[in-house]
């Protein structure tokens, strides 16, 4: 059995450099890295950490599966994913995800990537098993709608965040609050929706299932759904609630747009809140009251966590625990 | 020399199916396609069209290099790129682009993709040569800042579009118009900026170099640059122009935001126009006067054009000519 020292001698480097290569440290030049890998292969060297599954031909690439390219919140997260990955010597590429194309995904990503990151959406159980069994770990930024014990994740502490929002609504005198969610249970929106319903109950607000609207996650769908709703209730004059919370900001902006077009005064006739704090949420009239999801922290901390897992590099240790959101009170509630 | 008929017999399909495979028609099942490719390889069959460089091991993947993940206009284009590629049997993945990482790109994409699409940004001459010489064609959606005879492109007819905008500004009584552009000459913003300056001159407006602001392409940078400008001119009271055109909508929204914060009345003290027509441009107060760039057409027609080129499939023939933009007159000019 070869030793690390023999590998170092054959490659003409120090033992420390061999160690860097094994831990995928980006400080090693590519030419040196290749020399070390050749020596490892030639001597058949297998350090203990190999048990975790070091692949000799690592791609140093991560695939990020994106549900919605057009959502500025997600785009903002991706920026930080990419910067963090780069800092650790990994390249990132993006692939859009839809339930219809999971078979295709298996083929596309096979043997190409060291890991797969999801943006909160779910993969089918057999797809998850396929990737895990071929040695490709999966990590979800934002909790996946369908939890899976072998898929790691990082998300906001939604219970805590939604309590802040529900308490604010109560303080402003609201008792009956509607909820706009995505409509697909596989979407990360569902964990936010559940958290809001629980928070509303805890604060003594009424937020029943009949007061749930489905906005498909986008501005356009949300705007159309709200317009439909307002038509049903005599242009909003007889709405059975005084406030509505959308589980992403794009949908909240769609609601604002529908209200403006139908002459419904926000916040007098209807208060509106979102929960991400995208840039444009401060530019509407009125500006949106929302939670500020720390997307930089989500992207950078989640990516560092995942790369630590993939590379077995125990020095990559971002702080533990879920993320915290600040309530931004603006004009709409 | 083997014939197409022999290939068909060996693969157990009709000659038409062999032809479909050679032309990368998506209607052929994957299993059949593989059988035909095996037969072609076994018999050493080389049809004339091979001269164009049919690779036996096509990846049927296209890489799309994206400059800014956070720009909703670009995100909207990507959606249609992806849908069109899928319809023609191609998978798309996205990779962010920066001038600093072109070497890395060569390595990442080598042998992996049948073609590279750019979103208006430029690659270095040696990078372009590298990809072209390894048989990887390049196509740019929106004109690349640095034109290259071997890089195809599709864009709006900016001369025509900017004349519409300049004529509207003139009609509203403006004589001195500032311009906000990106700041990097490698950015597609520069072709839009040039087109506006030419249009302004043609309409007899004054738009001198001293009236050019640099907004870096993003909402935040544009907002900060405009705030600086307004401070210089006594909170906007003594601006040497009455209108400003931003070469993308995000920058125009940044300008609106700065004006609102500094108490500058739009359009009374300063008129503001954009030139893409992103969704949020209709939601600000006042809503933005802008050009409506048909991004669906850009994405779908550009992608079809490129896939026609890559696959040698002459049946993919989208309509010729540049795209046309509609002027959307709203509250800001």
Q: Calculate Rg over the CA atoms of chain A.
A: 24
Minimal C-alpha gap between B93 and chain A (Å)? 5
Q: For residues A300 and A303, give the distance between their C-alpha atoms in angstroms, rounded to a whole number.
A: 5
Q: Is B201 on the interface with A (CB under 8 A)?
A: no
Cα A157 to the chain's mean position, in Å? 13
Average pLDDT, stretch B112-133?
A: 89
Q: A48-62, A267-281, B7-21: which has the minimum mean pLDDT?
A: A48-62
Q: How confident is the model at residue A219 (pLDDT cuts 50, 70, 90)?
A: very high
Average pLDDT, stretch A280-302?
A: 95
Q: Is A60 on the interface with B (CB under 8 A)?
A: no
Q: Is B79 on the interface with A (CB under 8 A)?
A: yes
Q: A40-49, A156-165, A300-309, B239-248: which has the minimum mean pLDDT?
A: A40-49
What was the pLDDT predicted at A237? Answer: 82
Cis peptide leading into residue B286 (ω within 30°): yes
Q: Give the C-alpha distances (Å, rounded to integers) separating A209 from A179, A237, B280.
A: 9, 21, 30
pLDDT tops 90 at residue B269: yes
Q: A107-116, A143-152, A226-235, B302-311: which has the minimum mean pLDDT?
A: A143-152
What was the pLDDT predicted at B51? Answer: 34
pLDDT tops 50 at residue B97: yes
Q: For residues B181 and B211, give the distance between their C-alpha atoms in angstroms, rounded to a whole number.
A: 11
Q: How confident is the model at residue B53 (pLDDT cuts 50, 70, 90)?
A: very low
CB spacing of A220 vs B279 below 8 angstroms: yes
Average pLDDT, stretch B57-63?
A: 82
Detail the DSSP E strand segments found in chain A: 61-66, 91-96, 115-118, 138-141, 152-154, 177-181, 212-214, 243-246, 271-273, 290-292, 326-328
Q: Closest to A283 (Cβ–Cβ): which among B82, B91, B284? A: B284
Q: How confident is the model at residue B1 (pLDDT cuts 50, 70, 90)?
A: low
Q: How confident is the model at residue A39 (pLDDT cuts 50, 70, 90)?
A: confident
What the block records as the tokens of B244 is 């400003």
Q: How confident is the model at residue A266 (pLDDT cuts 50, 70, 90)?
A: very high
pLDDT tops 50 at residue B3: yes
A163, A327 in Cβ contact below 8 A? no
CB pairs under 8 A between A and B: 70
Average pLDDT, chain B: 88
Sign of the Cα torsion A127, A130, A132, A134 reads: negative
pLDDT tops 80 at residue A305: yes
Could you tell me which of A261, A263, A298, A308 has the C-alpha nearest to residue A277? A298
| Closest Cα in chain B to A60 | B108
Q: Is A81 on the interface with B (CB under 8 A)?
A: no
CB spacing of B280 vs A69 below 8 angstroms: no
**B95 contact residues in A (CB cutoff 8 A):** 91-94
A256, A266 in Cβ contact below 8 A? yes
pLDDT tops 90 at residue A269: yes
Q: For residues B59 and B18, give the distance between their C-alpha atoms in angstroms, rounded to a whole number.
A: 18
| Closest Cα in chain A to B279 | A219
Structure-model confidence comparison of residues B69 and B288, the more confident one: B288
pLDDT tops 70 at residue A46: no
CB spacing of B95 vs A94 below 8 angstroms: yes
Task: At B310, give phi and psi (nearest 5°).
Answer: -65, -45
Given phi > 0 = left and psi -120 to 50 = alpha, else beta, which region is B82? Answer: alpha
What was the pLDDT predicted at A115? Answer: 95
What was the pLDDT predicted at A54? Answer: 43
| Closest Cα in chain A to B258 | A283
CB spacing of B82 vs A96 below 8 angstroms: yes
pLDDT tops 90 at residue A328: yes
Residue in this structure with the two tokens 């005879």, named with its chain if needed: B149
Q: How confident is the model at residue B49 (pLDDT cuts 50, 70, 90)?
A: very low
Q: Is B332 on the interface with A (CB under 8 A)?
A: no
Q: For residues B21 and B39, give the distance between their C-alpha atoms in angstroms, rounded to a whole number.
A: 12
Domains belonging to chain B, first-starting first, are 4-52 (1.10.260.40), 61-155+296-323 (3.40.50.2300), 158-292 (3.40.50.2300)
What was the pLDDT predicted at A296? Answer: 94
Q: Is A102 on the interface with B (CB under 8 A)?
A: no
Average pLDDT, stretch B210-219?
A: 93
What was the pLDDT predicted at A51? Answer: 34
Average pLDDT, stretch B236-264?
A: 95
Q: What is the ipTM of this complex?
A: 0.73
**Residues of A numbered 260-319 whose beta carbons fall under 8 angstroms of chain B's beta carbons: which are they?**
279-280, 282-285
């Amino acid at each position: 059995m070869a030793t690390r020292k023999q590998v170092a001698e054959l490659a003409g480097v120090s033992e420390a450099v061999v160690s860097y290569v094994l831990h995928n440290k980006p400080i090693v030049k590519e030419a040196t890295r290749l020399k070390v890998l050749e020596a490892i292969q030639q001597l058949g060297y297998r350090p203990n950490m190999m048990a975790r599954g070091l692949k000799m031909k690592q791609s140093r690439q991560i695939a990020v599966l994106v549900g919605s390219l057009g959502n500025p919140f997600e785009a903002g997260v991706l920026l930080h994913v990419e910067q963090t990955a780069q800092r650790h010597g990994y390249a990132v590429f993006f692939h859009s995800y839809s339930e219809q194309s999971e078979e295709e995904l298996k083929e596309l990503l096979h043997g190409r990537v060291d890991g797969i990151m999801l943006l909160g959406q779910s993969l089918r159980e057999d797809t998850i098993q396929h990737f895990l069994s071929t040695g490709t770990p999966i990590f979800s930024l934002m909790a996946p709608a369908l939890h899976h014990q072998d898929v790691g994740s990082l998300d906001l502490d939604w219970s805590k965040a939604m309590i802040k929002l529900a308490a604010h609504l109560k303080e402003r005198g609201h008792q009956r609050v509607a909820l706009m969610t995505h409509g697909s249970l596989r979407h990360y929106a569902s964990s936010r929706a559940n958290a809001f319903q629980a928070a509303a109950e805890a604060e003594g607000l009424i937020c029943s299932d009949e007061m749930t609207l489905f906005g498909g996650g986008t501005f356009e769908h949300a705007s159309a759904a709200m317009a439909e709703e307002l038509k049903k209730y005599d242009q909003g004059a007889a709405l059975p609630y005084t406030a509505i919370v959308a589980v992403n900001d794009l949908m909240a902006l769609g609601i604002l747009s529908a209200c403006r077009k139908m002459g419904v005064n926000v916040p007098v006739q209807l208060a509106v809140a979102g929960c991400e704090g995208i840039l444009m949420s401060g530019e509407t009239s009125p500006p949106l009251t929302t939670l500020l999801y720390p997307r930089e922290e989500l992207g950078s901390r989640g990516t560092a966590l995942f790369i630590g897992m993939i590379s077995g590099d125990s020095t990559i240790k971002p702080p533990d625990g879920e993320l915290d959101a600040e309530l931004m009170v603006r004009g709409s509630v």
